[in-house]
Amino acid sequence: MKKLIPLALLLAVSAEAQELPFPAGYREWIHLTTGLDMSYNPALAMPGHHMFDNVYAEPSAYREFLKTGTWPDKTRVVLEVRMGTTEGSINKAGMYQTGEPMGVEVHMKDAGLQGGWGFFGFGEDKSPARIMPQDAECYTCHRKDGAVDTTFVQFYPTLLPVARAKGTAR
Amino acid sequence: MKKLIPLALLLAVSAEAQELPFPAGYREWIHLTTGLDMSYNPALAMPGHHMFDNVYAEPSAYREFLKTGTWPDKTRVVLEVRMGTTEGSINKAGMYQTGEPMGVEVHMKDAGLQGGWGFFGFGEDKSPARIMPQDAECYTCHRKDGAVDTTFVQFYPTLLPVARAKGTAR
């Protein structure tokens, strides 16, 4: 009989390597929001370059959030970056998304990680990503300003009312 | 014994009324893309007003598209419009989505409808919507410029390569 590796094991962050597999199938997860050129630094914009940020959560984590106003352990939230462009087909104004992702990052909740959450950035080859070092800017900013449990629920229009109703948004 | 109405009947567009129920749960469907202030008329923009368009397809229809490069009968695609804003929380540049939807429209494939597809626009009360008249602009534009079967797959970055590979994109 063939031995199957339990899904939980495949998804677990190894304590030694702190590596995470690429979140295959995240485009079929729950879409939380999309922003364009968002930045907490007004000077950061690159003229002529536009980036959409698409955010997805695992369906099971999303459903738990709807019930409790916060995320269960092992939650993965994906940030996908795609180029924005104006002219193409019949479009003449505004901006639409085009091409392959320019980046994919995962924010994963794991009680075994320092601070309870880790960030992982994936390259084009989709190979497993090492956890980002604790002094990376993402940790500080998410801890300081994330509305719910280090996540930016203040920018997720379907989850913010849930967090407010459950009293979990700060 | 309680009699249950089959789901297919609940979703069917009635031939007489041509009304469609509100697509409850569409935020858990598959996200196809999000654009900002898109328009085929460069003069249409409203200064100081920004609108994100989120597009979702039913999971079963999406999976069929991945296999065939086109949509099965009864496919529903939702267009949700939300306000875009710049300043809020720590954000200082670009644009994020906020508040309740400003509009929800459904594009439904149905072999029983003239042209094979119908458009339905829902109000805030989420009551069933009557089909939009055939002379509405949406029909002409989607028929003339939609890349696949009257849908704007040219703006859906995960579906366009599928349609190209299957030879269904024009």
Segment B6-17, tens digit of pLDDT: 555 555 555 545
Q: A94-120: per-residue pLDDT in tens?
A: 899 999 999 999 999 999 999 999 999
Give the three-class secondary structure for A140.
Answer: helix
**What is the mean pLDDT of the segment spanning A121-136?**
93
Look-up of token digits 């930045």: A39
Q: B143-158: per-residue pLDDT in tens?
A: 999 999 999 999 999 9
Which candidate from A30, A44, A90 shows the least CB-CB separation from B40?
A: A90
Q: What percent of chain B has pLDDT over 90?
A: 75
Residue A12 has pLDDT above 60, yes or no: no
Residue scoring higher pLDDT (B45 or A138): A138
ipTM value for the complex: 0.89
Summary mean pLDDT of chain A: 89
Q: Please indicate if any CB of chain B lies within 8 Å of the CB of A52.
A: yes
Q: How many CB atoms lie within 10 A of CB A49?
A: 10
Q: Please indicate if any CB of chain A lies within 8 Å of the CB of B45.
A: yes
What does DSSP say about strands B30-39 and B129-130: parallel, antiparallel, or unpaired?
Answer: unpaired
Question: What confidence category does residue A4 fall into, taking pLDDT thresholds of 50, 70 and 90?
Answer: low
**Chain A 101-140, CB below 8 Å of chain B: which residues?**
none
Give me the total of CB pairs closer than 8 Å, taking one residue from chain A and one from chain B.
121
- CA distances (Å), origin B105, targets A138, A147, B71, B108, B131: 36, 31, 18, 10, 11
Residue A162 has pLDDT above 90, yes or no: yes
pTM for the whole thing? 0.90
In this structure, of A3-7, A48-52, A153-157, B85-89, the range with the lowest mean pLDDT score is: A3-7
Residue A169 has pLDDT above 90, yes or no: yes
Which candidate from A27, A89, A155 shows the least CB-CB separation from B145?
A: A89
Q: Do B38 and A89 touch (CB under 8 A)?
A: no
In this structure, of A24-33, A114-123, B4-13, the range with the lowest mean pLDDT score is: B4-13
pLDDT of residue B46: 73
pLDDT of residue A90: 87
Q: Do A93 and B37 touch (CB under 8 A)?
A: yes
pLDDT of residue A40: 78
What tokens appear for B126 in the block? Answer: 């989420």
In this structure, of A14-28, A118-132, B133-147, the range with the lowest mean pLDDT score is: A14-28
Please count the helices (runs of H) and the strands (runs of E) in chain B.
Answer: 4, 7
Contacts of residue A84 in chain B, CB cutoff 8 Å? 36
Residue A46 has pLDDT above 90, yes or no: no
Residue A44 has pLDDT above 80, yes or no: no
What tokens appear for B88 in the block? Answer: 């809020």
Which candidate from A39, A94, A145 shows the least CB-CB separation from B94?
A: A39
Q: Do B59 and A28 touch (CB under 8 A)?
A: yes
pLDDT of residue A1: 45
CA distance B87 to chain A (A): 9
Task: For B44, name the nearest residue in chain A, comparing CA atoms only.
Answer: A93
Give the three-class secondary structure for B108.
Answer: strand
Question: What confidence category does residue B18 fall into, taking pLDDT thresholds of 50, 70 and 90?
Answer: confident
Task: For B99, name the nearest residue in chain A, comparing CA atoms only.
Answer: A157
Q: Do B158 and A97 touch (CB under 8 A)?
A: no
Which candidate from A28, A94, A157 shows the least CB-CB separation from B35?
A: A94
Q: B96-132: per-residue pLDDT in tens?
A: 999 999 999 999 999 999 999 999 999 889 999 999 9
pLDDT of residue A48: 81
